Amino acid sequence: MMDINDRQELCFPHLLNSSCRKPTLFWTEAVLLNIVLSLISLITAVLNLLIIISVFHFRQLHTPTNVLILSLAVSDFLVGLLLMPLEIYKKFTCWGNIMCSFYGYLIAHIVSASVGNIILISVDRYVAICQPLHYHTRITMARVKCCVCLCWICAGFYRIFYLKNELVEPGRSNSCIGECTFVIDVIAGTVDLILNFIFPVTVIVVLYMRIFMVAVSQARAMRSHITAVTLKLSVNLDAKKSELKAARTLGILVIVYLLCFCPFYCYSLVEVNVTSTSYASFLFFLFYFNSCLNPVIYAVFYPWFRKSIKLIVTRQILQPGSCESNIL
């Protein structure tokens, strides 16, 4: 009887010496956790899908900045559609080697693309605020689309190189069959930490410090001249306020990104093999949760997003000429 119970607890009962034990959680704990995580996954996918539809459909939103927001929304949508459900599946079930390697590649690729998008957004806001006279000549739709494509392609190739051992020999890092962990050597882990965290964070912080300083000086200049403006200057001031508001919104987005990503990479400094620790799922879901918060930030600070949601939900976008609607 004891032998039968032991076999039932294994991922693969016929492999007594090499099979992992099945993940065990209390029934109430498992159901509650599954419901909460599934709800977060659904909200993340739906909200980011609304951003994707909005930027694609409405012609007024076809701007370089919104193309970058669209690219970030695509990566966040994939997090909600694929990474969160797979992490839930991983927590409650046993894994095959090929599926585990595929999941590891998806995580690495999508996260790297998200980091690249955040950097591109920071550069866009830097040029818009600090070099406004050169913005329309330096930041064009063609260049932005090219940068977005390169961002996704480079992230894909870099992650193939980073996980080449796992992709060539799936399951090589697992101590037993049914486990899903990734062991990265010290050199590869250090390079990844620099390229995927230290360098992006440094670039983002430096750019936004510069943006903040220029934004403060511009805000003071606008306040000092607010009582003696002509109609033309008033229009220019409104445009400048819009740029400053966009910089503030995207600054909040970057701060939230840092808060969600820092714990994982800081912990990786202490523990090389993060995926094998008991905190792995929490750390993964923390930076996955960033993908859910991004569209919430847009909804709070961007009136165009709220208007577009209303038009989408009420199905007014199905009407002829709806792509020309004024939502700004």
- HSE, side-chain direction, 13 A CA sphere, residue 150: 8
Q: State CA 18 to chain mean position distance.
A: 36
* Dist. CA 22–CA 93, nearest whole Å: 7
Question: In the beta sheet, which residues pair with residue 177?
Answer: 19
Query: Which of 28-37, 79-88, 195-204, 317-326 shows the lowest mean pLDDT across its residues?
Result: 28-37
Tell me, yes or no, whether 12 lies in a domain: no
Q: What is the mean pLDDT of residues 9-34?
A: 73
- What's this model's pTM, rounded to 2 decimal places? 0.84
- Cα→Cα distances 268→160, 199, 215, 265, Å: 20, 16, 35, 5
- 118 in a structural domain: yes
Q: Give the integer Cα–Cα distance in Å for 68 and 158.
A: 21
The tally of domains found in the chain comes to: 1
pLDDT tens digit string along 133-159?
889 999 999 999 999 999 999 999 888
Q: What is the pLDDT of residue 81?
A: 93
**Any domain includes 137:** yes
CATH of the domain at 262: 1.20.1070.10
* 20 assigned to some structural domain: no
pLDDT over threshold 90, residue 52? yes
On whether residue 200 sits in a domain, the answer given is yes
Q: Which domain holds residue 206?
A: 40-324
Tell me what the mean pLDDT of segment 83-104 comes to.
83
Residue 10's DSSP bridge partners are: 21
User: Per the domain annotation, does 97 fall within a domain?
Assistant: yes
31 inside domain? no
Classify residue 28: in a domain, yes or no: no
- Alpha helices (H) in 9-96, listed in sequence order: 27-57, 64-78, 84-92
The residue whose two tokens read 């390697």 is: 101
Q: Is the pLDDT of residue 232 over 90?
A: no
Of residues 7 and 182, the one with the higher pLDDT is: 182
Percent over 90 (pLDDT), the chain: 22
Count of CB atoms within 10 A of residue 264's CB? 18
* 8 A C-beta contact, residue 136 and residue 98: no
pLDDT of residue 2: 38
pLDDT score for 245: 64
**Can you tell me whether residue 69 is helix, strand or coil?**
helix
